[in-house]
């Protein structure tokens, strides 16, 4: 089967900070939940930005469904950045209208259903919501798309454990099963039960790309424990 994402010899150098991502080669299959794991500054967010067309690689190639990052790939990638990216003066309902206008695969009824489950009033302005609720709204928007690739950058950082459970349930219950989820996080123990595969990234290079089962079987350890060993300071 043709991989969903093909990354070949990808390098991104920032002026003064060479090698944010360095000669990275990866293939992501369809229908998998993949953890992108690495310490701070390992190049996870740089890689995610390049996949979303927010950064131009210094060299190398990215193909998503055979296309270079651009308008076509943006229509098939649902991206959750690690920050609040919505206009704060808008109401939740207005933001849903915004997503409906621009993303052909966005399902407003799914979004309204999830908002109702969480007791979030669509008429509330985003600026009146707590940080955790804003993160939930963003996740609802991203997971209400029927995308081919979901890229979630630190979706559970900064929220309480109860909210983490909700977020993970939302991800599992709402993603298109033929789609792939690439999920970046530090909080491995919270998410490792939902992962099919993991990618360990260090100094901008992928040092491991394997299934969660193979780590458990071959190493006899949880992903969290193995991660701590690999990245021990």
**Interface residues toward another protein, by CB under 8 A:** 49, 52-56, 71-72, 74-75, 77, 79, 81, 83-87, 89-90, 94, 98, 101-103
Please state the closest distance from residue 52 (CB atom) to another protein, in A.
Answer: 5
Please state the closest distance from residue 230 (CB atom) to another protein, in A.
Answer: 30
Q: Which is nearer to another protein, 3 or 53 (CB)?
A: 53
Q: Which is nearer to another protein, 90 or 230 (CB)?
A: 90
Helical ranges in the chain per DSSP H: 44-51, 71-74, 92-102, 108-118, 131-143, 161-174, 188-191, 212-214, 223-230
Concatenating the DSSP letter of every residue in 154-212 gives STTTTS-HHHHHHHHHHHHHHS-TTSEEEEE-S-HHHHGGG-SEEEEEETTEEEEEEEH
Q: Which is nearer to another protein, 62 or 195 (CB)?
A: 62
Please state the closest distance from residue 48 (CB atom) to another protein, in A.
Answer: 11
Angle at 189 between CA 53 and CA 62, to 5 degrees: 20
Please state the closest distance from residue 167 (CB atom) to another protein, in A.
Answer: 18
Q: Which is nearer to another protein, 28 or 147 (CB)?
A: 147
């Amino acid at each position: 089967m043709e991989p969903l994402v093909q990354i070949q010899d990808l390098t991104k150098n920032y002026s003064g900070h060479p090698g944010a991502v360095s000669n990275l080669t990866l293939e992501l299959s369809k229908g998998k939940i993949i953890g992108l794991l690495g310490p701070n500054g390992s190049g996870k967010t740089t890689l995610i930005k390049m996949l979303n067309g927010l950064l131009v690689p210094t060299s190398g190639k990215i193909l998503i469904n055979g296309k270079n990052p651009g308008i076509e790939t943006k229509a098939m990638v649902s991206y959750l950045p690690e920050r609040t990216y919505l206009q704060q003066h808008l109401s939740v309902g207005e933001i849903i209208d915004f997503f409906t206008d621009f993303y052909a695969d966005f399902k407003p009824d799914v979004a309204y259903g999830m908002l109702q489950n969480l007791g979030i009033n669509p008429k509330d302005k985003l600026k009146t919501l707590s940080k955790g609720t804003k993160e939930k709204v963003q996740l609802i928007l991203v997971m209400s798309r029927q995308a081919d690739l979901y890229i979630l950058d630190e979706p559970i950082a900064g929220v309480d454990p109860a909210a983490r459970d909700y977020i993970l349930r939302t991800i599992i219950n709402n993603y298109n099963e033929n789609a792939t989820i690439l999920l970046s996080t530090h909080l491995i123990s919270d998410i490792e039960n939902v992962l099919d595969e993991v990618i360990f990234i260090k100094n901008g290079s992928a040092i491991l790309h394997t299934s969660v089962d193979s780590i458990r079987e071959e190493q006899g350890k949880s992903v969290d424990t193995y991660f701590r060993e690999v990245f021990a300071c």
